[in-house]
Structure 1
Amino acid sequence: MENTASALSPESVYFICEQAYSEKLFEYFSKDNDVLLPVSHARDIVVLSYSTEGEVTHGNTLRGGNPLQFEWPVVSRQGLTQLFVSRGGLVNSGPTSHFVKPSKKPDRRFLRASSALSEGAEIFFAGLCLLPHLKKEVRTIHLDTSSIASVVMASLLMSRREDLPKIRTFHSYEKLKQHNFSKDETEVVLISASQSGQMAAQLAELVGRRSQIVTIFSSSPSLATGETLCDLKFDGIMNPAGIPARKINDNFEGSRPINLVGEHFLSEPEAPRAALPGVLQNPSINRSFISRLAGRQVFSCNFKKNRYMPSKSVWIDAGQFLKTENYKEWLELICLREIPAAVAAIVYIDGSDGSEAFAKDIVDEIKRHGVASNCRLISLTEIDGSQGSLPTSPPDKAPIVIAGGITGHGDDLLSVSRALRDWAPSSHRVFLTPICVPSSLAALKVLDQNLCQPRSHVFKYMDAIVIDRQKLSGSWERERQFLSDRYDELPSDLRDRLNVLNSSKGMINNLFLSGKKSQLSLRKNFAFWPSDVDCQAALQADVFVAISCLIQNMRTNADVASDRRIVNNSNTHTVIAAGAFARFNDGVIQASILRAAEPVELNYTDAPDESRVMGGVIVDMIKLVDRQQGEAVTEFLMAILTGWIQLREQDMALVRAELDKNVNLNEAQSWLARCIPS
């Protein structure tokens, strides 16, 4: 009765009780009308009864001579749907995350039956609906989760059975295939909830009879596999409280996964936190290494070595790097410290950028110091057996130097290590590479361990640029696709931009869309480089690599303070603090942060405060498009259009309003502004 205490009186009320007690209940209500005061204005009050087999029939009328037509299938469906929805059985992930269900499929929503089964009377109502499926001959009941056992027990109590069946749980998908099902008709399988019907389809193969499979709550488009207790789908007439159909082809890119594990676990999405990049999170390589390469054309982005290879988000030109004084100083030092005088061979890796040139430099350097006149320069293909016969093996325990090129995860070096097990199994190996580009320090440590086993081997490198090159090209690929899809309507500047993106040459000082008047460039006093560096000589690629290192350090370095870590997993969503774009107001730095971040790190749709600040930053840029403070506007417009950055709708509305009234945008900026949907 508590649901009627603060609501309008219902039009019709039905009491449902066991058949054996329907007459007694009718007599009780007839004598004591005060019990009916909470529903005193109801036009019709009727007592219904159910049998121990679950058949519901019309009983006695307490009030009203012409009660509404009672249809139990409709009432049970609408009743269970109302319980499921009002008790929070439908769980939404929010706009910046998605569930990965036990079936491994991603989805924005999840059906959780246990949430809907929290009150005694409601559990018995569900048990009544289930009762026809638990016939007297049923001896075993299989459950996908123990959370629905209460419904089964309620149903069995209502059946008045003396010989209770066994109840077993197969723990959802976790142990589905290992569970001992029988094709005997004395067994029933219960599924708590389903959106796709996939589990029922798999069970049909294991159980045999579809009629033995019952899904309690289902929003599956097809109800063909087995029986359904409650079809949750919305129907304006038959089920107005139902669940609307899911969005077709939902895009989960830039969304944080929330893994649903086991039969009960659900990791509720928490509010995102903001991490502000700063000097304390700056990796030492930015100050000691990358800053010293500014303006040397060592770095480029979106580079293809040839048209058949995928583009590299960050390419390090080994030829340019091997010309630098930093490299030459390191080469002399490493040769003196690590290469024994008795070195027998220098092995280089065919096709690895810079490997052969680096090997020749090593040979020249050690000869300059008057050692290893008989040292051989040899390629990997000569010793890996791919050419048939192998060259003469070096003496037992002879030192061998492996000269790597620009090294990512070290597959080339590991290939040499494998080849040496046959060609020079007892050799002492010295692995050298000028630059490592791992995705994390942990990945670099694993490579070191793999190369140096046993511990007598050595792995040395000049420095490690920790970035994830597989992910960093995403923003340019989205931009290229966006412009390609609208090629016929592009203004000339953006057609030229598309040509740059389609080129295999790579981008050095044209990574970013230009401002209204000129391309983006670094001004004096870059916070992440020493003060004596000529910042104005830096190229866009130099700045982008430095910012990429900074952000990757915040993602992967466990030594970074917890409130500055960027963590996105099942339990945590971190965005880059909008204040970063106000703090670092050089357009080239802002554009670098945009491109180096992942979409989930710039998705502010469930971070109201950050979205408001970010929206304000963009609005101010639009207002100041003629000045340095607004030079990155074009980059932000493209990020909005490609979904690389997302704001709450109310903040996006302010951005659109400012764009609509601004008359100072150039042709490309105006065209991009018009593309933003209203």
Structure 2
Amino acid sequence: MMERFYSWRDLKHCPNQGTLEALVICYNGCSLAVDSVYRDVEEALKGESSLPDCVYIVGNASQYAVFAEAWDPSNTRSAAMLKRGTKGGLDFVKQYVFLQWNSASFDERPLSPNVPYHFEVKRLLSRGVYSLMEKNNSIHQAPSGHVFKHPSGSRNRVFIQAREIAADEAELFVVGYMIALRHSTKLREAKKILIDTMGIYSYVKSALMHCGSDAEIFSFHSYDELEKLNPPNSPYFCVVSASTSGRMAKAMTDAWFAADRIATMVDVTAAGRCGDVMVPLDQMGVTFPELKVSEGTLIEIIGENFTSKAKPPRPVVIGLPHAPATLDVIHQYFGFTIPPLNTAMNGRRKLLQLEATSILEHEDFIQWLDTEIDWSFPLTISHVIHANDDASRSLAEAILERLRKRLANGDALRLIPYPELDKPVCEGATGVVVVSAVSRDGGVLREISRDLRSYIKAEIPRHFITPIGIPQTSASWKQLEIFLTKNPTLREYGFSNWIHLPIGDDSDENTWTRLANLASLSQTLDINELGLGESIDAEVVNASLELAANEIDRSYQSFLHSPRGEPLKLSEGFLFFAEGSDIAARYDEVGESTLYLTISAVLQCAREHKEHTKRLCPNGYESVVLGPECFLRFNDPILQACLLRASLPPELDYSASPEFSKLMRELLSKVFARWDKEFGDAALEFAASIAVGSLRLTRSDMSGLLQEVIGRASQPSALLGLIILAKWLQSSDC
């Protein structure tokens, strides 16, 4: 579902009623329908395991009208909705209140007959902004031994990155409403709004829109520019992005700006500050021991950017918290049917492919499809358009068959393959269904959507259905949904998806293609260019390079074999196979492509994890690597191969940490030394990762490791060939 609202919860203690919890749902400026608000409230209620005491909905007048209709007692579905707030026959959710914005403040419009509780709107919105700061990791604390140097010149352990508070339009509205509510009168009066950074322009612009103001926004960027400013002669207002010392607001008052026309969005406290502090962190329960420090490695801040990544890499160890929510479902339906790696389907070769034709006959899918058609498809459908692949054609035919039984004009429905789609075909269209059985980031669906915009009017309903999604990221999947559903009308087009699982990078260039290029390079190398001197016989070198190239060539749809010539195998008890599932019981039948998809999806989930400490994603001053412990925890050679191939190169770059580099060197030394035993079965995969530049150590560790392997070699081997290539590439800085 597209993010048209953001929800959060607020706890407060009332002397008479004890601790109360409110759920707040804040909409962006979207148009709503009665059916959609039921789904929205239900989704927000399910966001936590416990039910709140009350629900507040924040929105505009048109959105209130839809909610009023949805909660009207004469609406038979409203009673069913209210039951969502009961448990064991008791009403846990005792009130629903709509907060309608009126350009200056919020009008409280009860949707339920009784309103026993009251939460102050300013409090709710401030708490909402703070929840966004937690969600989007906009409060940074300097690592041990480091200190932030702020533009003001002060040094402390905290930096608040205000521009990162909101990540989408719904979140932007939360911040905009907060600013507008607290300062609507002054914003409407002002002719000029001064801000200290363009990073908060969108927040202030949103607040002005809510207030109906057309004031000019001017960013002065820095303390140096502030010294050149004088308070405008016309009415003005000043918004400071964030502070840890209150110095910016103080400097403005020293420059004769009125304190009652200065507001700071976020500060560690409101006590002793000039002007208003909208989100004081100490009132949110946040404390920072030893905030002010004078010594430590400087992380200098320019504007809202860090000058360098001063902190050593942070390791992330993969575990159950990184298991994607839909991984078990994918295993259930596709665990034994994923084609081999780099398989060509429908004229295109991709690293990972899903064959969905067999799933179309599954009872669970049929039930989902029937429900989607009954509840979501427009009644005016005249055209069913499908992507040009076998699974999409089969799905489109199944949809067409069902529509013909349900619609009065069913016999007139047209089934159109995408290659045949043109303007004459679309003439007379009254409704369109677009079908793609499996989507990645939705290239085909986007193409069809663009064509339809040219061929038929925007007012004609259309519905996009893509049951299986394997996008690169969650964000790309949301962007696809937004692209397909947004349109010039007041309503959105429909979008249906059964399962989607982000699987990480899906580009045509990957470890397999880089290894293929390396194999080609090895055939043209002059042995004298390798810089090996007389440490190893030339015939051994040439034979090893040839063996390495042959092993790479035969493994284009799999992983490199062990040095003993055996395929890599999986042992029983894999962490990401659900206990008691069919795939866990038949683990010896699981293909390499299924294991690779699993690890790739787990790593992508780690990159998107909500908790900062578990997130495999760098920020402005901190790099992140896959913890060396992962290769000990997942010690099956095939799992080590999956980790090496599915990780992004920066995630295997241990060159910035002597500690992690040493740990990895010790592991690699043991793997390479035991190449003829089960412990060393992934030796070729580790060597290949080094050779293509993915796995990196410090220069001294890498040189010592490679020389150690070469020094032990007396016979030609694929392992030696890959190590020789790695050494040559390292020495030539290729």
Q: Tell me the CA shift for residue 544 of structure 1.
A: 0.8
Q: Which residue of 2 aligns with 1:428?
A: 461
Q: What are the equivalent positions in structure 2 for 1:567-582 lying under 5 Å apart? A: 567-582=617-632
Q: Tell me the CA shift for residue 324 of structure 1.
A: 6.2
Q: Is the 8 A contact 1:348 1:404 kept in 2?
A: yes
Q: What are the equivalent positions in structure 2 for 1:446-485 lying under 5 Å apart? A: 446-453=479-486, 454-471=490-507, 473-485=509-521
Q: What are the equivalent positions in structure 2 for 1:160-199 lying under 5 Å apart? A: none
**CA distances 1:516-573 after superposition (whole Å, capped 9, x unpaired):** 241112222211121222221111111111111111112134x2x2112122354221
One-letter code aligned to 1:554 = A
Q: Which residue of 2 aligns with 1:526?
A: 574
Q: Which residue of 2 aligns with 1:645?
A: 695
One-letter code aligned to 1:571 = Y
One-letter code aligned to 1:403 = V
Q: Which residue of 2 aligns with 1:539?
A: 591
Structure 1 Cα separation of the partners of residues 362 and 693 of structure 2: 39
Residue 625 of structure 2 aligns to a residue in which SS?
Answer: strand
Q: Which residue of 1 aligns with 2:376?
A: 338
Q: Tell me the CA shift for residue 284 of structure 1.
A: 1.5
Q: Which residue of 1 aligns with 2:553?
A: 499
Q: What are the equivalent positions in structure 2 for 1:57-456 lying under 5 Å apart? A: 266-290=307-331, 292-298=333-339, 300-301=341-342, 303=344, 306=347, 312-319=350-357, 322=360, 327-328=365-366, 330-339=368-377, 343-349=381-387, 351=388, 354-366=391-403, 372-385=410-423, 389-395=424-430, 398=431, 400-421=432-453, 422-423=455-456, 425-453=458-486, 454-456=490-492
1:623 to 673, 676, 687: 673
Residue 284 of structure 1 aligns to a residue in which SS?
Answer: coil
Closer/same/farther in 2, CA of residues 268 and 540 from structure 1, 3 Å limit: closer
Closer/same/farther in 2, CA of residues 498 and 325 from structure 1, 3 Å limit: farther
Percent identity between the two aligned chains: 23
Q: Tell me the CA shift for residue 476 of structure 1.
A: 1.6
Residue 351 of structure 2 aligns to a residue in which SS?
Answer: strand
Structure 1 Cα separation of the partners of residues 554 and 484 of structure 2: 39
One-letter code aligned to 2:616 = I
Alignment of 1:556 with 2:597, yes or no, is no
Structure 2 Cα separation of the partners of residues 425 and 368 of structure 1: 27
- Please, which moves more after superposition, 294-303 or 451-460? 294-303
Q: Tell me the CA shift for residue 436 of structure 1.
A: 1.8
Closer/same/farther in 2, CA of residues 341 and 617 from structure 1, 3 Å limit: same
Q: Scaled by the length of structure 1, what TM-score is found?
A: 0.53
Q: Is the 8 A contact 1:641 1:675 kept in 2?
A: yes
**CA distances 1:297-344 after superposition (whole Å, capped 9, x unpaired):** 3463375865xx7x5332334456657666555445544543466643
Q: Is the 8 A contact 1:291 1:530 kept in 2?
A: no
Q: Scaled by the length of structure 2, what TM-score is found?
A: 0.50
Structure 2 Cα separation of the partners of residues 544 and 263 of structure 1: 38
Closer/same/farther in 2, CA of residues 606 and 591 from structure 1, 3 Å limit: same
Structure 2 Cα separation of the partners of residues 620 and 444 of structure 1: 42
One-letter code aligned to 2:559 = L
Closer/same/farther in 2, CA of residues 587 and 612 from structure 1, 3 Å limit: same
Structure 2 Cα separation of the partners of residues 592 and 472 of structure 1: 17
Closer/same/farther in 2, CA of residues 265 and 619 from structure 1, 3 Å limit: closer
Structure 1 Cα separation of the partners of residues 620 and 305 of structure 2: 15
Q: Which residue of 2 aligns with 1:593?
A: 643
Structure 2 Cα separation of the partners of residues 326 and 663 of structure 1: 56
Structure 2 Cα separation of the partners of residues 665 and 373 of structure 1: 73
Structure 1 Cα separation of the partners of residues 300 and 351 of structure 2: 29
Residue 679 of structure 2 aligns to a residue in which SS?
Answer: helix
2:522 to 486, 499, 502: 486
Q: How many residues align?
A: 407
Closer/same/farther in 2, CA of residues 665 and 316 from structure 1, 3 Å limit: farther
Structure 2 Cα separation of the partners of residues 646 and 295 of structure 1: 34
- Please, which moves more after superposition, 420-429 or 581-590? 420-429
Residue 394 of structure 1 aligns to a residue in which SS?
Answer: coil
Structure 2 Cα separation of the partners of residues 264 and 527 of structure 1: 39
Residue 468 of structure 2 aligns to a residue in which SS?
Answer: strand
One-letter code aligned to 1:271 = P
Q: Tell me the CA shift for residue 660 of structure 1.
A: 4.5
Provide the aligned C-alpha RMSD in A. Answer: 3.7
Structure 2 Cα separation of the partners of residues 542 and 376 of structure 1: 37
Q: Tell me the CA shift for residue 366 of structure 1.
A: 4.7
Q: Is the 8 A contact 1:408 1:437 kept in 2?
A: yes
Q: Which residue of 1 aligns with 2:34?
A: none
**CA distances 1:133-165 after superposition (whole Å, capped 9, x unpaired):** xxxxxxxxxxxxxxxxxxxxxxxxxxxxxxxxx
Q: Is the 8 A contact 1:276 1:576 kept in 2?
A: yes
5+ residue gaps, structure 1, are 1-170, 172-257
Which has the higher relative contact order, 1 or 2, with Cα contacts under 8 A spaced 6 or more apart?
1
Closer/same/farther in 2, CA of residues 608 and 485 from structure 1, 3 Å limit: same
- Please, which moves more after superposition, 404-413 or 474-483? 404-413
Structure 2 Cα separation of the partners of residues 610 and 391 of structure 1: 60
